[in-house]
Amino acid sequence: MVGEQGGTRRMLTGNAAAAWGARLARVEYIPAFPITPQTEIIESLAAWCAGGELAARFVTLDSEHSMITAAGAAAATGCRVFTATSSQGLLYGLEALWTVAGWRVPLVMVNVSRGLAAPITLEPDHNDILAARDSGCIQLHAETCQEVLDSVLLAYRVAEDPRVRLPVIVNMDGFYLSFTREPVEVPTPQQAADFLPEAQGEPEFRASRPLAQGVAVLQGALYSHFRYQMHLAQEAALAVHEEAAADFEQICGRRYGAVEAYRLEDAELVLVMAGSFATKARAAIDVLRSEGKRVGLLRLRMIRPWPAAAVAAALGHRRGVAVIDQNLSPGLGGILFQEVAATLARSARRPGVLRSFVGGLGGKDISLGEFRHVVDVLAAASDSEDLHGSELLFTEADWQQVQSLVQLAQFPETQAVPSDDGRSEVRR
Amino acid sequence: MKTKREFIHNLKELPRDELLAPGSPLCAGCGGLLALRLLLKALDGNVAVVNAAGCMTLLAVYPYTPLRTSWLYTTMGSAPAGAQGIRDALDVLIAKGRLPREEDLRVVVLAGDGATLDIGLSSLSGAIHRGLDFYYLCYDNEAFGNTGFQMSAASPYGSRTATSPATPLQAAGTLQQKKDLFEIWRSHHPPYAATLSTADPVDLVDKVRRATRLRGPKLFTALAVCPPGWGSAPSRGFEIAKLALDTGVWPLKEAIDGKVRHTYIPQRRRPLEEYLRTQRRFAHLFSPQRQEDVLHRMQQAVDAYWDEVQRHEMPPR
Amino acid sequence: MLRIRFHGRGGHGVKTASRIVGTAAFLSGFYAQDSPIYGAERRGAAVAAYTRIDTKPICERGAVAEPDLILVVDETLLADPAAGVRVGCEFASALLVNSGKEGTALATELRLPCPILTLDLTAVVLAVVGRGSAQSAVLGAAACALAGLGPLERVLEAVQRELVELGLEADEQARNLEAARRVYADLSAVPARPRLPASGQVELHRPTLAKGAASRPIILAVGNAAARHTGRWRVFRPVIDQEACTRCGVCFALCPDGAITLDERAYPVIDYENCKGCMMCYQECPVHCISERQEVQAW
Ligand code: SF4
Ligand code: SF4
Ligand code: SF4
């Protein structure tokens, strides 16, 4: 369990930071369903609700499909709602996610990214959260535990803004953030209250004023209208987030943009990434810079709404840009690359070369050597090449290991080899 | 009082063959693993296990599997549908002559209580309703064990889980009543449903053998001692399972075509407290204060159950 | 940056130890990061945890592959390649093993490319805390001492904070603090070893479509899990006295792992490679002909 009052710097896991975000947001309703590696979030909240530290109702639902529906319905009624899930759970609840986004209700959900089955795994990549890309939910991807907490608070401001009224998903990587403790500044209750007022939305379902929500639309023009309204609300969220981020900076002293730049001013070559693996990129960039390579990082924080203008402005004039996707759309390659490429294709200025890499799938490390490879490819590439597809960041050593495991799986007489590092647990 | 066993009569007659080799990464002393091992012994091979995501997903982790049978991992909510697909496909292939009859398999769903009673209940209900010829083993550790023991629809009233902690505001811990899986099943009219205990391997094997003669859904739920979740020493697993039988909190019974028969009736039930005291998940009922009302309610529920059994099933003395 | 790696088994408390060091560093004004290899490990399985400490924000995440300090709770892990204790040993300034053996003797035995220290943490825990207790407090204190974190009061504060989070009773906390105090006093900071420059050169592999089953997550070698050797998890070893055994079959019936087979005369035989040591057979043998022997000195 995680601390008592709030308002100090302390060591928190990403999960604990998410729970603190919900607590400081004074949420009123928490429907839950357990799934690794998110469970610590709901366990902390359950303890606070049962212990009286948080005046919210905590309910264990029978599935994520039910959980997201209950979350949306409570938000439709007028409560401030928080929920959390991960991976398979997010996919199980996907139908409901589209539904509640279409209801245009504000709620905040934390997703702890984890690779998708089959084969089932526990470690992170972003295919789960990107499967929810087109649901209508806003997406903020955190790099640090601090950002997880702060983003939950920011998320309520964006979700509840009358110009937006959409669910917001705050995403963090399983294990790399969810189970990792690092110093986190926990805002005081006063700071949280100054930034995010008490839930005060008009209760929508009430005896004195019947109304019908989430109504069927059996007509193309109407459907187009309402769907496009969601799109416009998403676009509005860019500015709303900017406003909220400015307020947040005033009150808490930390600033968040739709994208974040690292050593970008004079960078010729730019890596584009999302999530906690961007931290690894920073370290690699420092090393490569010390060798005289002008490399920088653009981290995508807001994936929906897509911050096209910011992406174009940051990348248009570079010599080389490499998108390192921690996801894979089989048959296409990296997903975010497509969005970056489409953005740049329509900008006035385009980078000399644009390359796509896929790395960190199922939590596989992206080592300094692999970052070096990406940068070397960029540095050597020329515009004239016609390269399609995405290159997988996968080393000879990885391949050797895989081969020996495949042997073990296929041939009974194979002797056990020093295989993994003991990390053989798989939990749903 | 035990009923007469039909197929095996003592432990010496347990089949020697192991369809479950050692080396799984499950916890030492896992009651669910023991239930599965015994069930597979009773089935004698030629089995395809369809797994609902949960603790047992860990059985087959690349490149290793302890099972000498076939295996298909499915999602948490859809294992019975996975069984449907395998069963139907085997039928089709055999009917068309693409698969010799002797290559047929028995299809066994392996699911925890969360997958059974929460997220997968509709899939299970559908498979039973369709009369699917399959076996279903629910290892009931009374919570979501795999994610660290959170409350499920099988968590008993009065138990503490990671999401139903015992606090002054909710002194009992879990406030809900455990869903009655056996009766949910019986309401679907399957040919066979039974409760199992790892403390009575002979009864377990006997029941599974009896069920093999029937076509359609054959449904089993085993109380599965879970040392880390229940807060008990792995070595005491058998004793705890036995206490569940002797206190009457886990009745051993079967229903053939809906007709219920208890296969063990404890003549003088031991106080439920003896069972509760073996596990830390019930420790809040005894300290710092004894929660008389909660304990009373729990004991009463057990007593009421057996009074009912007495009325309907027992011949008059 | 200082990188510390802990190795133990589920239940030893390596996660808490990594947190104690993280908290001690944090309280000393450093940037710190700590994480277990996995959230909830099975008791007995090999696990690891990490702490990183720096004077500036930490730009590394995940497993520590190039540790400055390695602490090993259970000597037997050194022989288990899957535990990964030796990974990156060449970077380490010291590897501390919880053992009653002489450091130099163990060093000759192990032939590792780093200095080896030993300290009998278990003896301290047995004497001060009690049998069956986790090693978190002493392990955390040992790492703090080796890392040069201090003073003692701050380390003890870190220990206490983490034990409170675990929900330990006051008297248990007090005994753990006393054990931590002793261990901390027994060790001193190890001089940092000059760091090898990170090479950062790897060869990339370009995958091609594999043939047949190798392209899918399929296991053909069914029943091969015995190669995992879960017998390494065992703390106590059940030993059957054949003379007294009545061949009742109870132990055979109730071993969850199927680690007991019956020989042709129906005597039970234990597969020690895979017996996890749940000790149910020991507990239930009707004639008490199964005894227990302590396997490792880690608890
Ligand atoms: S958590 Fe419980 S049910 Fe799951 S493997 Fe461990 S003992 Fe078995
Ligand atoms: S100690 Fe447990 S795992 Fe080992 S043989 Fe006995 S029952 Fe089986
Ligand atoms: S339980 Fe004891 S007496 Fe019975 S077979 Fe096992 S060792 Fe022999």
CA distance B41 to chain C (A): 10
Best mutation target among A44, A69, A402, A427 (most B Cβ atoms within 10 Å) is: A427
Within a domain: A33: yes
- Partners of B163 on chain A (C-beta within 8 Å) are 32, 34, 42-43, 46, 58, 60
Q: A411 and C220: CB-CB below 8 Å?
A: yes
> In Å, what is the CA distance from C219 to each residue of B66, B67, B149?
11, 10, 30
Is the Cβ of A146 closer than 8 Å to some Cβ of chain B?
no
Rounded Cα gap, residues B112 and B137, in angstroms: 8
DSSP per-residue string spanning chain C = -EEEEEEEEBTS-HHHHHHHHHHHHHHTT-EEEEEESSSSPPBTSEEEEEEEEESS-----S--SS-SEEEES-GGGGG-GGG-TTTTGGG-SEEEEE-SS-HHHHHHHH--SS-EEEE-HHHHIIIII-TT--SHHHHHHHHHHHHT---HHHHHHHHHHHHHHHT--HHHHHHHHHHHHHHHHH--PPPPPPPPPP-----B----PPPGGGGSS---STTGGGGG-GGGG-SEEEEE-TTT-----HHHHH-TT--EEE-TTS-EEE-TTT-----HHHHH-TT--EEEEE--S--
Domain map of chain B by residue range?
17-312
Nearest-CA distance from B76 to chain A in Å? Answer: 8
The answer on A120 and A90 residing in a single domain is yes
Give contacts of A367 with chain C, Cβ < 8 Å. 200, 202
CB of B234 within 6 A of ligand 1: the answer is no
Closest by alpha carbon to A318, among A297, A342, A346? A297
Give this prediction's pTM.
0.95
Which residue ranges in chain B fall short of pLDDT 70? 314-317
The answer to the question of residue A212 being in a domain is no
Q: List C residues 97-136 in contact with A (Cβ-Cβ < 8 A).
A: none
C40 touches chain B (CB under 8 A): yes
B202 CA distance to ligand 2 middle (Å): 19
Give the CA angle between residues A121, A333, A330 to the nearest 5°: 55
The best mutation among C243, C289, C292 to test binding of ligand 3, ranked by most ligand atoms within 8 Å of the C-beta, falls on C289
CATH of the domain at A388: 3.40.50.920
Instruction: State how far the alpha carbon of B306 is from the alpha carbons of B121, B207, B312, C277, in Å.
Output: 27, 21, 10, 37
**What subunits make at least 3 CB pairs under 8 angstroms with B?**
A, C
Q: Is the CB of C45 under 6 A from ligand 3?
A: no
What residue owns the CA closest to ligand 3's atom 8?
C245
Same domain, A42 and A179: yes
What does the alpha-carbon distance between residue B160 and residue C7 come to, in Å, rounded to a whole number? 31
Q: CB–CB of B152/B113 below 8 Å?
A: yes
* CA pair distance B162, B147, nearest whole angstrom: 10
Query: Do residues A230 and A296 share a domain?
Result: no
- Sign of the C-alpha dihedral, residues A58, A60, A63, A66? negative
What are the residues facing B217 on neighbouring strands? B134
CA distance B167 to A169: 31
Tell whether A188 is within 8 A of chain C (Cβ).
no
Residue A31: which H helix or E strand, with range? strand A29-32
The CA C267 to ligand 3 mean position distance, Å, reads: 8
pLDDT at C228: 84
Q: Count of domains in chain A?
A: 2
CATH number of residue A27's parent domain: 3.40.50.970
Give contacts of B63 with chain A, Cβ < 8 Å.
405-409, 419
pLDDT, averaged across chain B: 96
C-beta atoms of A394 and C45 within 8 A: no
**Chain C residues inside the 8 Å CB shell of A118:** 217
DSSP designation for A361: G
Contact A276 C218 (CB under 8 A): no
Asked if residue C278 has its Cβ within 6 Å of ligand 2, the reply is yes
The pairs formed by A407-410 with CB atoms below 8 angstroms and a separation of 24 or more are A407/B63, A408/B63, A408/B64, A408/C221, A408/C224, A408/C227, A409/B62, A409/B63, A409/B64, A409/C213, A409/C218, A409/C219, A409/C220, A409/C221, A409/C224, A410/C213, A410/C214, A410/C219, A410/C220, A410/C221
Residue with tokens 């073996």: B278
For residue A290, being part of any structural domain is answered with yes
Residues A277 and A227 in one domain: no
Q: Which domains does chain C have, with CATH numbers?
A: 2-186 (3.40.920.10), 234-294 (3.30.70.20)
Please check whether residue A295 lies inside any domain of the structure. yes
Say whether both A226 and A181 belong to one domain. Answer: yes
Distance CA A167, CA A155 (A): 9
Q: Is residue A320 domain-shared with residue A243, that is, in the same domain? A: no
Homologous superfamily (CATH) of B17-312 is Thiamin diphosphate (ThDP)-binding fold, Pyr/PP domains (3.40.50.970)
Indicate if A231 and A303 belong to the same structural domain: no
Give the model's pLDDT for residue C201: 87
**List of chains touching A (3+ CB pairs within 8 A):** B, C
- The reply to whether ligand 1 has any atom less than 6 angstroms from the CB of B145 is yes
CB contact under 8 A, B23 and C222: no
Instruction: For A18-53, give one letter per residue: b (16+ CB within 10 A) or e.
Output: bbbbbbbbbbbbbbbbbbbbbbbbbbbbbbbbbeeb
Domain contains A211: no
C-beta atoms of B73 and A408 within 8 A: no
Q: Which stretches in chain C have pLDDT values below 70?
A: 38-41, 196-199, 296-299
Cis ω on the peptide bond leading into residue C67 (within 30° of 0)? no
Q: Which atom of ligand 1 is nearest to the CA of B33?
A: 8
Distance of CA C270 from the midpoint of ligand 3 (Å): 11
A323/A378 same-domain check? yes
Tens place of pLDDT per residue across chain A (428 aa): 344 445 689 999 999 999 999 999 999 999 999 999 999 999 999 999 999 999 999 999 999 999 999 999 999 999 999 999 999 999 999 999 999 999 999 999 999 999 999 999 999 999 999 999 999 999 999 999 999 999 999 999 999 999 999 999 999 999 999 999 999 999 999 999 999 999 987 899 999 999 999 999 999 999 999 999 999 999 999 999 999 999 999 999 999 999 999 999 999 999 999 999 999 999 999 999 999 999 999 999 999 999 999 999 999 999 999 999 999 999 999 999 999 999 999 999 999 999 999 999 999 999 999 999 999 999 998 766 666 789 999 999 999 999 999 999 988 665 444 444 433 333 34
Interchain contact, A395 vs C203, CB within 8 Å: yes
> Cα–Cα–Cα angle for C108, C112, C115, nearest 5°?
85
Whole-number Å distance between alpha carbons of A15 and A172: 9
Residue numbers of the domain that contains A303 = 259-406
Answer yes or no: do A119 and A229 share one domain. Answer: yes
